[in-house]
Structure 1
Amino acid sequence: MDRKGSEFAGVSVALTTPFVNGEVDYDRFAEQVEFQIAAGVDCLCPVGTTGESPTLSHDEHERVIAFVVEKTSGRTKVMPGTGSNSTAEAVRLTKFAERAGADAALQVAPYYNKPTQEGFYQHYKRLAEECGLPQCVYNIPGRTAKNIEPETIVRLAELENIAVVKEATGSLDQCSRILAETNLTVLSGDDSLTLPMMAVGASGSISVVANLVPGDVKAMVAAAAAGDFAAAREQHFKLFALCRDMLGLATNPIPVKAAMKLLGRDNGEMLLPMTPLEEPLVEKLRGSLTAYGLL
């Protein structure tokens, strides 16, 4: 089956946002963008959950989108987070991303206000009809408090600009239904589930751990896409402890920011209410990075 959004197959990186004294550190950000491009990733996803979008001002959010688009200069795709629990705000941010030159928009399910399934449908329908960019439906009920049910995604798949699903429900059953009942491209939103999801037909991932080891994530996804599941499993098990730490030690992006600091690629600063990883957990993380060969 030819899937809508297949140009976004592969490895997208949910970029962290570096800060210094409460402001975005654009010099460090440029280094991180170049690091990912050198690794050959397929797409960069700034200002998502990992990029601390909930605590950036609207002006900062837009500046980061424009900055990443400018720095990539077409060398890789850019799919910024432009979602909101206000449909009007999501439309505004998405139109900005389109004007800035982004390739697609990552649309988190409206959070906190807990829409009905019809509310989810109407939210994404408006985005699809009023914005020209391909839309990636980001379903992460662990954060948003409500699942976009497969039946709703089947309805959304009929809309021209709904192209991709970032599947972060943790349910292989839901992933399988979306793949079986739609022609949408599905990307894993949980690093530890990327390989299992690709085994049933997903096309790659929007990865947090790729902030640390993009080449290894790309090797796993490429092997799975080529049908070499023996090689993909080898990479999966190599990555597994790091994936577990990025999701298990504390709320994302606390662990990945701590890891970037240990690797000398970030100062670890976050915006409140996000706080640094507690010291005993830092030592556990240090052990994982050492075991992996990064320290």
Structure 2
Amino acid sequence: MTASSLDPRRPFGRLLTAMVTPFKPDGSLDTDGAARLATYLVDEQNNDGIVVNGTTGESATTTDAEKDATLRAVLEAVGDRAHVIAGVGTNDTRHTVDLARAAEKAGAHGILVVTPYYNKPPQSGVQYHFATVADQCGLPMMVYDIPGRTGVAIETETMVRLAEHERIVAVKDAKGDLVETAWVTKRCDLAVYSGDDKLTLPLLSIGAVGVVGVPTHLFGSATKDMISAYEAGDAARALELHHKLLPVFEGFFRTQGVILTKAALMLQGLPAGPVRPPLCEASPAEIARLREDCAAAGLTLGDAVTAAAIESHALSTHHLGATE
């Protein structure tokens, strides 16, 4: 799949989920679980695409080999039915290029590249980073603008220049600045995907085309209905669905999104497993609130595991550096 073969308006579809990386109880990689979860997201939650090895996939604490294994498992499970986007971003341009090439070799349909974090490069360095990765890899790229995590925003002028690259086709926008995003949609043809679930509908109103979501693990179909309603011109219906989903748009992020997402998936009997340190498992109080949030959005979470069992992962699985 090349950039030129994609729909330029929505190159990766409308609804994508930033998938968690399932681990076994001992903290090692669960590739079978990754395949089953990806299948569920496509077949039952109506996802057009899946982002593997992103922030919600705990990319900060998985090895390069684990990233490759997870990507290949997901590609084998759903690669003929959905866009599979590999998260390859690091704060080292050379390492990012290596991961991008590995993703291309594995058969990924695109790459997600986050702004370099911690070292806080100037805008010239930000542009160099993205352009270099795009030059060295043949896959279409979605850049990821999330200054709350990286410490550096991609300025509008930089975004406009990046859009000139034939393989930089989209941006996952978690900047939270609707005015700047409106300038981006006005000045260039990058496909904008919301990177903040609660801002998906507002972003659609200024030119965004979809979302890379997290509550979409369990609320994907409803989120897609909201996007479809807006695109069909039924703003009232889209707003109604937005209001219905607000409790989970906010609730999944009362602590780190992956923590509560994995808790919700485990309660539903879906592959997830523990998180890796320094993250820690959801507490019983957090799970109780998560149940309330999901119920308010129309989903009663199951009891495949208990809240105490989820919390006990943190106490019983000392899985630093665990690998498959």
TM category, shorter:
over 0.9
The equivalences for 1:1-295 within 5 A come to 4=8, 6-20=10-24, 21-38=26-43, 39-247=45-253, 249-266=254-271, 268-291=273-296, 292-295=298-301
Deviation for aligned residue 1:208? 0.5
CA distance in 2, matches of 1:147, 1:106: 16
CA distance in 2, matches of 1:246, 1:165: 22
Query: Which residue type is aligned with residue 199 of structure 1?
Result: S
CA distance in 2, matches of 1:199, 1:267: 34
Deviation for aligned residue 1:3? 7.9
Checking the alignment, whether the CA contact within 8 Å between 1:188 and 1:194 is kept in structure 2 is yes
Query: 1:42-80 CA deviation, whole Å, 9 max, x = no partner?
Result: 111011001101100111011111111111131111111
Partner SS state of residue 213, structure 1: helix
Partner SS state of residue 6, structure 1: coil
CA distance in 1, matches of 2:282, 2:52: 22
TM-score, normalization: structure 2?
A: 0.87
**Cα root mean square deviation, aligned:** 1.5
CA distance in 2, matches of 1:59, 1:26: 12
Query: 1:252-271 CA deviation, whole Å, 9 max, x = no partner?
Result: 21121122122222454111
Unaligned runs of 5+ in 1: none
Checking the alignment, whether the CA contact within 8 Å between 2:20 and 2:272 is kept in structure 1 is no
Percent identical residues: 38
Partner SS state of residue 212, structure 1: helix
Deviation for aligned residue 1:9? 3.4
Deviates more, 1:228-237 or 1:44-53: 228-237
Count of residues in Structure 1 that have an aligned counterpart in Structure 2: 293
Query: 1:181-212 CA deviation, whole Å, 9 max, x = no partner?
Result: 11110000000000000011100000101111
Deviates more, 1:218-227 or 1:179-188: 218-227
Partner SS state of residue 133, structure 1: coil
TM-score, normalization: structure 1?
A: 0.95
Checking the alignment, whether the CA contact within 8 Å between 1:140 and 1:167 is kept in structure 2 is yes
CA distance in 1, matches of 2:205, 2:117: 30
CA distance in 2, matches of 1:18, 1:267: 4
Deviation for aligned residue 1:22? 1.2
Deviation for aligned residue 1:294? 2.6
Query: Which residue type is aligned with residue 18 of structure 2?
Result: A
Checking the alignment, whether the CA contact within 8 Å between 2:252 and 2:261 is kept in structure 1 is yes
Checking the alignment, whether the CA contact within 8 Å between 2:11 and 2:169 is kept in structure 1 is no
Checking the alignment, whether the CA contact within 8 Å between 1:81 and 1:106 is kept in structure 2 is yes
Unaligned runs of 5+ in 2: 1-5, 302-324
CA distance in 1, matches of 2:242, 2:101: 37
Deviates more, 1:283-292 or 1:179-188: 283-292
Checking the alignment, whether the CA contact within 8 Å between 2:49 and 2:85 is kept in structure 1 is yes
Deviates more, 1:51-60 or 1:64-73: 64-73
Query: Which residue type is aligned with residue 102 of structure 2?
Result: F
Checking the alignment, whether the CA contact within 8 Å between 1:5 and 1:164 is kept in structure 2 is no
CA distance in 1, matches of 2:252, 2:295: 15
CA distance in 1, matches of 2:65, 2:89: 15
The residue that corresponds to 2:317 in the other structure is none
